[in-house]
Amino acid sequence: MYQALYRKYRPIDFDSVVGQNAVVQTLRNSIISHNFSHAYLFFGPRGTGKTTVSKIFARNINCLDPQNGNACGKCEACLKSFSKSCMDILEIDAASNNGVDEIRDLKSKITLVPTDLKYKVYIIDEVHMLSIGAFNALLKTLEEPPEHAVFILATTDPQKVPETIVSRCQNFSFKRISSDVIFDRLSFVCNQEKIKVDEDVLKNIAYLSEGGMRDALGILDKLTSYTTKKITMADFEEVNGVVSNKVMHEFLEFVLSGDVQNVLLSIQNFENLGKNLIQIFNHLLIYSRNLLVDYYLNGSSIPFSIDLFQRFTNTINEKMFDIKRSDNTRIYIEMLLLKFIGDYVDNSKKIEKVDKVEEKLVVEKNIESKINLPKNQDEKVEEKVEEDEEYDFSKEYEEDQDESDELNHFDDVENYPKIQNLEEIMKIRVNNTLALADKNLLKEESQKFELLKDYTFDQKIGYLVCSLLDSKIRAVSPDNLIISYEYDSNVSQNLSVIEKLIEVYQSITKSNKQIAILSDSDWEKEKQDYISKKKQGVVYEVQEEPKVILEEKKKDDIISNSAIELFGDIVEIE
Q: What is the mean pLDDT of residues 250-255?
A: 92
**How many angstroms separate the CA atoms of 325 and 516, rounded?**
36
Is the predicted pLDDT of residue 377 greater than 50, yes or no? no
CA distance 160 to 43: 11
The residues, any chain, with a CB within 8 Å of residue 148's CB and separated by 6 or more, are 113, 114, 118, 119, 120
Predicted TM-score (pTM) above 0.75: no
pLDDT at 554: 53
Mean pLDDT along residues 395-423: 55
Stretch 343-371: mean pLDDT, rounded? 54
Residue 39: Cβ within 10 Å count? 19
Over 70: is that where the pLDDT of 559 sits? no
**DSSP symbols for 221-263:** HHHHHH-SS-B-HHHHHHHHT---HHHHHHHHHHHHTT-HHHH
Per residue in 81-121, pLDDT tens? 888 788 888 888 887 777 788 888 888 888 888 888 889 89
From CA 506, how far away is CA 500, in angstroms rounded? 10
pLDDT at site 553: 57
Q: What is the pLDDT of residue 391?
A: 44
Per-residue pLDDT, averaged over 298-312, amounts to 86
Percent of the chain exceeding pLDDT 70 equals 83
Residue 41 has pLDDT above 90, yes or no: yes
Per DSSP, which regions of 116-227 are E strands?
120-125, 149-155, 170-173
Residue among 74, 71, 104, 101 nearest 89 (CA): 71
Percentage of the chain modeled with pLDDT above 90: 17
Q: Which domains does the chain have, with CATH numbers?
A: 5-173 (3.40.50.300), 180-343 (no CATH), 392-574 (no CATH)
Number of neighbours of residue 201 by Cβ within 10 angstroms: 22
Say whether pLDDT at 396 is over 50. no
Please compute the mean of the pLDDT values over residues 396-410 and round it to a whole number.
Answer: 46
Q: What is the pLDDT of residue 390?
A: 44
Closest C-alpha to 220, from 195, 252, 191? 195
**d(C-alpha 119, C-alpha 61), whole Å:** 8
pLDDT at 266: 92
Does 335 have pLDDT greater than 90? yes
Bigger pLDDT: 400 vs 514: 514
What is the predicted pLDDT for the residue at 348?
A: 55
pLDDT at residue 234 greater than cutoff 70: yes
DSSP state of 70: B
Which secondary structure element, helix H or strand E, spans residue 482, and what is its range?
A: strand 480-485
- Nearest-CA neighbor of 182 among 43, 70, 13, 47? 47
pLDDT of residue 155: 92
Sign of CA dihedral 97, 217, 159, 531: negative
83: Cβ–Cβ under 8 A, 6 or more apart, which residues? none
pLDDT at 252: 92
Band the pLDDT of 40: cuts 50, 70, 90. Answer: very high
> Who wins on pLDDT, 2 or 299?
299
| Span 363-383, average pLDDT | 48
pLDDT at position 330 is 92
pLDDT in tens, 416-464: 567 878 888 899 989 989 989 888 888 888 888 888 888 877 777 878 8
The yes-or-no verdict on residue 358 having pLDDT over 70 is no
Rounded Cα–Cα distance for residues 55 and 125 (Å): 11
pLDDT band at 561 (very low <50, low <70, confident <90, very high): low
Residue 568's pLDDT band, with cuts at 50, 70 and 90, is: low
Rounded Cα distance, 8 and 214, in Å: 11
Confidence (pLDDT) at 449: 84
What is the rounded average pLDDT for all residues in the chain?
Answer: 81
Asked if residue 190 lies in contact with residue 197, where contact means CB atoms within 8 angstroms, the answer is yes
Average pLDDT over residues 203-212: 85
Helices (H), 114-170: 132-143, 163-166
Distances (CA, A) of 157 to 75, 180, 408, 487: 37, 26, 69, 51
Of 332 and 573, which is predicted with more confidence?
332
Single-letter amino acid code for the residue at 63: C
Is residue 165 packed enough to be buried (19+ CB in 10 Å), middle (13-18) or exposed (0-12)?
buried
Among the ranges given (115-124, 133-142, 183-192), the one the predictor scored with the smallest mean pLDDT: 133-142
So what's the pLDDT on residue 536? 85
Helix-helix angle 277-298:329-340, to 10 degrees: 40
